[in-house]
Amino acid sequence: MAAEKHGRLDFSPFGRPSDIFYRAYTLLENRTPIHADCGELCGGACCKGTAADGMLLFPGEEAFLQKVFAACPEKPAGFTFTGPAQRRLVTCSGACDRVFRPLACRIFPLFPALGADGRIRVMLDVRALRVCPMAKTAARLDRDFIRAVRRTGRLLASLPACRDFLRQQTEELEELARLVPLDKGLLPIRYR
């Protein structure tokens, strides 16, 4: 298990501070969409995925997680990786150790969208509408959480494979948003 260091999780056994995933996980370690356990709102609906609808991993993230799991004295249980290399999914048993949550879980129900201008903007992941009550009230999400998702997107965009992934996912989410009636204030989410 990750050690406590200065009141924060210490991922140093799993990567170097220069590693993008190390930095992204650390940035999001204590950030959540609201100041409460959001799983109590929906019975942890987002934690009940199947091999067909798990959380999508970012390019290179599975290798990072495998390194994390290998370094742990107690192997994290309940995680399953499925799907082709270019579209890897992870599911858990519904009660994972939050330290090991993948980025898709950490940023849910948002996504760091890559705009045509190359800037990262935080948008609602419209796929969340079917499981997450917070997706319908994204304006009430914690501002620090929204900022952390944006900073994470900027970090990830520095890796070419992740930048391509962000672009592809942004296009997919924008297409879905055109098909789903949404409050225009949710796409992209604005904060000051």
Q: How does pLDDT run across 75-103, given as a tens digit for each residue? A: 777 778 888 877 888 877 777 677 788 89
pLDDT over threshold 50, residue 7:
no
Highest mean pLDDT among 26-30, 91-95, 184-188: 26-30
pLDDT band with cut points at 50, 70 and 90 for residue 8: very low
Is a pLDDT exceeding 80 seen at residue 54? no
Contact 112, 149 (CB under 8 A): yes
Average pLDDT of the chain, as a whole number: 79
Residue-level length of the chain: 192
Q: What's the whole-model pTM score?
A: 0.81
131-170 pLDDT tens trace: 777 777 766 788 999 999 999 999 999 999 999 999 999 9
Neighbour-count burial of 13, counting CB atoms closer than 10 A to its CB (0-12 exposed, 13-18 middle, 19+ buried): middle
pLDDT bin (cut points 50, 70, 90) of residue 12 is low
Query: What is the C-alpha separation between 122 and 173, in angstroms, rounded?
Result: 12
Average pLDDT over residues 52-74: 84
Amino acid identity of residue 10, one-letter, is: D
User: Residue 24: is its pLDDT beyond 90?
Assistant: yes
What integer is the mean pLDDT of 17-36? 82
Task: Tell me what pLDDT residue 140 has.
Answer: 79
d(CA 46, CA 56): 12
What DSSP assignment string belongs to 1-22?
-PEEETTEEE-TTT--TTSHHH
**Helical segments of the chain, H only:** 20-28, 39-42, 61-71, 103-107, 143-157, 160-179
Tokens of 27: 């940035």
Is residue 185 pLDDT above 70, yes or no? no
Largest CA distance in the chain: 47
Beta strands 89-91; 110-114: pairing state? unpaired
Give the pLDDT score at 165. Answer: 95
pLDDT value for 191: 41
* 3-class secondary structure per residue, 103-123: HHHHHCCEEEEECCCCCEEEE
- pLDDT value at residue 52: 65
Read off the pLDDT of each residue in 167-183 and give the average, rounded to a whole number: 85
